Chains A and B, each alone.
Chain A
Amino acid sequence: MANVKFDHVTKRFGNMIAVNDLSLDIADQEFMTLVGPSGCGKSTTLNLLAGLEEPDEGELSIGDHVVNDVPPGDRNIAMVFQSYALYPHMKVFENIAFGLRIQKRPDAEIQARVKEAAELLSITELLSRKPAQLSGGQRQRVALGRAIVRHPDVFLLDEPLSNLDAILRIQMRADLRLLFNRLGSTVVYVTHDQAEAMTMSDRLAVFLAGVIQQVGTPLHVYEQPENMFVARFIGSPSINFISGHLASNDGGYRFTANDEFTIDLPAGIIKADWPAEVVLGIRPEDISLSTADNSIGVQVELMEQLGAETILHTTVGSQKLVLKQEKGTNFQHGENVSLFIPPMQIHFFNPKTEQRLM
């Protein structure tokens, strides 16, 4: 097993900078998720680590070795692809054994290791089938088996769950995490799904336009997003942003939204050097229904019943506010409701830099 280190790594494709001055340390046995929208550079980062792409600048190390010039086969890594990339003309056994055969391992060892991997993934009975005869979930497991059998230092997983249906995806999320806990290996996992990133990772790195926006534990990133992009990308439904300005008021501060409702804030939350124009961010689950006189009057536009919870889409003027409520909440379309936004849960952002104000 091994740690992984990106040291000021840059990768360009023509004029496009896919990965820009990336520095990232991944600890031994850590489950690190690279998450971001498509085209953000997360897959390129994984390909750089795999050796499928070469960095233009910077150093890349696995364990104590700089691997910039090491061919993929010698890096002792294994990769799982979104498309599974199984070899359709080979049986499952040969698919899993392929890497070992290329390494010219003795036949007895290959038999034993394929058997071990197959048992770990409960696919022993599939070994004599061809990939075309397998379901999506089974193919997924074979692709994992092909990686596990090589006992790699680092597992690289490129959107491995994206092709599965929703129920299987959520089940595999837990299965995968348990599997890698048991293997005790370093994992670099790429996904565009923030729910996967949140639920599976020890730490996650949020990417945008080839640049890491924030690295941290899922909860830290969720609770302390460093900029508006991270705040918006992590969490579902997405955080609410309200543009407005701050003014001092009665020893505290008052936030006045562009849509003219106000929120009174106690002293201590706002710092004196902040700009007057700000963006207020509040998570849907932090907004509560209220009857107090400092509440905001909104109109219910849409209600989504999810069973365990209810998502309310409301409007005040042109401002939309989404909030999450417990199950059983019931409103009519167009009904007027009062909301309370607790000051301690609010994040403020600079509208120009989009950075969090602290």
Chain B
Amino acid sequence: MTTQAGVIEPARPRLRSRSYYRWRRSILHWVGNVLTIVVVLIMLIPFIWLILTTFKQPVEFLTWPPVFFPTQPTLGNYQDVMKIPFIGRFFLNTLIIASASTFLAVTLGSAAAYALARVKFPFHLNSVLAIWILITRMYPAVATAVPYFVLIQRLGLLDKHLALIITYTSFNLPFVVWLMLGFFQGIPIDMEKAAIVDGTTMWQRFTKIVLPLAAPGLIATTILSFILGWNEFLFAVILTSLKAKTVPVVIAGFITDKGLDWGTMSALGTMLVVPVIVLAWISQRYLIRGLTLGAVKE
């Protein structure tokens, strides 16, 4: 708006009363709180439902109107889980496969990421390789299920731990490489130059300087890799039948043509989830630091 030809009036912000700003701030504050609670409930309700179901009598599973809290709490469902043949073995399988594949993926993946972060390969290979690694995650894994089954069968690995360890390692590698790449690139290059002048080999720099500094990232990737190996269902059901069978496959086994055994299913589901929650709880300090540190450069 011009008051005079060519003179533009400066835009001045219109100040309101102090109580207006206080009121506005507290409203925003409460809207934020309510939204947070709603989102947390949406995430938690299925999980709470699962846990409560484990304590219900069979009649309460599908009654109408639904019963949220068990009226006659029971541990019967857990006792049923204990009666599943080889259940201890299945848990052990899950633990072995998840741990081994996590160890392999994190070790190989972080070494590869360090090389991509610090070695300059010719022909722009750094970015080509980084993208190429990601390609394995760009199509649905199920698309390869049948040929993959044949491959594993020819290798004589059906129903062996190694089959799932290889599979999960290859699933986790791209994810580990990309996450760790961000971490390694975030470590100041001068620090490594100083270590070079101090006479270190590349391996010494990796183990003594880089890995300790990337510890939050390593912990985050380790937990996330472990969760994938611990929960994975599709390839577990395709590649195992008994000896290497994992718990998610056992859970799915309760869906039969004779009906669903809700109680045992939810009890076993709860037992599968609890270790992961405990693990994440113990390491949440690192997990949170890990998930934010790599992303933001300081």
Q: Which residues on the B side are within 8 Å of A103 (C-beta)? A: 199
Q: Which of B194, B200, B213 has the most CB of A within 10 A?
A: B194
Query: Is A73 touching B196 in the complex (CB atoms < 8 A)?
Result: yes
Contact string, B196-224, partner A, CB cutoff 8 A, digits 1/0?
Answer: 11111000100001001100000000000
Q: Which residues on the B side are within 8 Å of A89 (C-beta)? A: 212-213
Contact string, A65-85, partner B, CB cutoff 8 A, digits 1/0?
Answer: 000000111100111011101
How many Å lie between the Cα of A87 and that of B210 in the bound state?
A: 10
| Chain B nearest Cβ from A97, distance in angstroms | 10
Please tell me if A102 contacts chain B, counting CB pairs below 8 Å.
yes
Contact string, A97-113, partner B, CB cutoff 8 A, digits 1/0?
Answer: 01100110000000000
How many Å lie between the Cα of A98 and that of B198 in the bound state?
A: 7
Query: Is A73 touching B188 in the complex (CB atoms < 8 A)?
Result: no
Query: Is B212 touching A52 in the complex (CB atoms < 8 A)?
Result: no
Query: Is B190 touching A78 in the complex (CB atoms < 8 A)?
Result: no
Query: Is B193 touching A99 in the complex (CB atoms < 8 A)?
Result: no
Size category of the binding interface on chain A: 20 to 34
A217-246 interface with B by 8 A CB criterion: none
Query: Is B204 touching A102 in the complex (CB atoms < 8 A)?
Result: yes
Q: Which residues on the B side are within 8 Å of A79 (C-beta)? A: 193-194, 197
Query: Is A73 touching B199 in the complex (CB atoms < 8 A)?
Result: yes
Q: Which residue of B lies closest to A103 (CB)?
A: B199
Looking at the complex, which one of B190, B194, B196, B212 makes contact with A146 (CB distance below 8 Å)?
A: B194
Query: Is A99 touching B191 in the complex (CB atoms < 8 A)?
Result: no
Interface contacts (Cβ under 8 Å), in number, total: 56
B165-202 interface with A by 8 A CB criterion: 188, 190-191, 193-200
Please tell me if A334 contacts chain B, counting CB pairs below 8 Å.
no
Please tell me if A88 contacts chain B, counting CB pairs below 8 Å.
yes
How many Å lie between the Cα of A88 and that of B213 in the bound state?
A: 8
Q: Which residue of B lies closest to A99 (CB)?
A: B198
How many Å lie between the Cα of A77 and that of B193 in the bound state?
A: 13
How many Å lie between the Cα of A206 and that of B199 in the bound state?
A: 30
B30-84 interface with A by 8 A CB criterion: none
Please tell me if A40 contacts chain B, counting CB pairs below 8 Å.
no
Looking at the complex, which one of A82, A85, A102, A150 makes contact with B191 (CB distance below 8 Å)?
A: A85
Query: Is A102 touching B213 in the complex (CB atoms < 8 A)?
Result: no
Q: Which residue of A lies closest to B209 (CB)?
A: A87
Q: Which residues on the A side are within 8 Å of B188 (C-beta)? A: 83, 85
How many Å lie between the Cα of A102 and that of B200 in the bound state?
A: 6
Query: Is B199 touching A52 in the complex (CB atoms < 8 A)?
Result: no
| Chain A nearest Cβ from B221, distance in angstroms | 18
Contact string, A142-162, partner B, CB cutoff 8 A, digits 1/0?
Answer: 000010001000001000000
Looking at the complex, which one of B198, B209, B213 makes contact with A73 (CB distance below 8 Å)?
A: B198
Q: Which residue of B lies closest to A89 (CB)?
A: B212
How many Å lie between the Cα of A86 and that of B190 in the bound state?
A: 9
How many Å lie between the Cα of A24 and that of B140 in the bound state?
A: 62
Beyond A87-B209, A89-B213, A102-B204, whether A81 also contacts B199 by CB under 8 A is no
How many Å lie between the Cα of A71 and that of B205 in the bound state?
A: 15
**27 A-B contact pairs sorted by A residue (CB < 8 Å):** A50-B193, A51-B197, A52-B193, A52-B196, A72-B197, A72-B199, A73-B200, A74-B199, A77-B197, A79-B194, A79-B197, A81-B190, A81-B194, A82-B190, A87-B195, A87-B213, A88-B213, A98-B198, A99-B198, A99-B199, A102-B198, A102-B199, A102-B200, A102-B204, A103-B199, A150-B198, A156-B197
Q: A79-B197, A99-B199 are in contact. List 12 more A-B contacts (CB 8 A).
A: A50-B193, A50-B197, A72-B196, A72-B199, A73-B196, A73-B200, A79-B194, A82-B190, A85-B190, A102-B199, A102-B204, A146-B194
Chain A residues near B (Cβ < 8 Å): 50-52, 71-74, 77-79, 81-83, 85-89, 98-99, 102-103, 146, 150, 156
